[in-house]
Amino acid sequence: MLRIICKDTNFFQIFTQKNFVNSKKSCIFAPPKYIEPWCNGNTADFGSAFLGSSPGGSTRQKHLKRVLFCKIAIERTSQTMLTYPNAKINLGLFITEKRSDGYHNIETVLMPVPLCDALEVLENRKGSEDVELHVHGRSIDGNPSDNLVCKAYQLLKKDFPTLPNIRVDLLKKIPSGAGLGGGSADAAFMLELLNRKFLLGISDEALEDYARRIGSDCACFVKNRPAFAYEKGDVFEPMDIDLSDYQLVLICPPIHVNTKAAYQHVVPKAAGFDLRKLPETPIHQWKEVLQNDFEPSVFSQHPILSDIKKTLYNAGAAYVSMSGSGSAMFGLFPRETLVKTGHAPSLQKINHFLQIAFEKCTLVCLNL
């Protein structure tokens, strides 16, 4: 089977109208015999474009012209598949009550951001283990078998026992224990990748249910769009939030915050603001109405985080907050301001502060 990722709507319609097997969103799974005539049989070449001669008839020639204007990638589903789990930030985080099951009800807005890990899966026919995990980049504490990526595989394996043994290579760029949801994102993207690679036919809704069994915020990465999250943080309402006029400055200090311990220092209370009104609230007012209920207790244990928040505001940020239970801090900077003043003065001021405070600290500027 071949998987075609098609960015061109017209070309996608051509294939779905032809009923080339499984179609979902902008992806089509089709037997090679349908595809090879369009690319001179070169279907094994990942990324090859459909630029070959079109056999038979002017209709296919017309279809071929459309292909010249779209980006197409081809990959054999029996070979490796690669995906890029992204981080998230929290826009406001209210801890509203302690539940009888030991968890907490929260209200927050989850916003995907383009800081990504890389996750690659290869069928491992010679491997003796169900899943063989190799971690690269940032180190991860603990036994690899306890990693959420492995738990995602084992969860699907229970319902799909024919899943083959696999090798997983995980390149970590998202810091752990920073409140950016890196581990949850890896697990959710693993579920989605296995679903696509092995043609399991699991719906997004079912994938969310699997993800909830791994972690409360894991399910938000299935549809991976801005959302108001409530209850345990695993029930969502989509939100339309446009931050394209802002640049995100993300600071990840070398401080690990244990989420379970962070909850123990918080006294739940009713939310001070209805986060569903956030899209209609001007960003310059956010610092007046939004708060992260973890900040007081985490800042008391790590005062340098409060200093980072002040530094970001002093550098011109419109809104600054800790993400999740920390320790990552982020600031939203108006793009217009950065264009007029240039990036250098603001970033140099922040960098100078961080170099004094830490031996090693990550600062990333991201477009939203």
Active site residues: 88, 217
N-terminal to C-terminal alpha carbon distance within the chain: 35
Strand partners of residue 111: 89
Q: At 311, list the tokens.
A: 């530094």
Q: At 246, list the tokens.
A: 């802002």
Residue type, 136: H
What's the burial of 351, exposed, middle or buried (CB within 10 Å: 0-12/13-18/19+)? middle
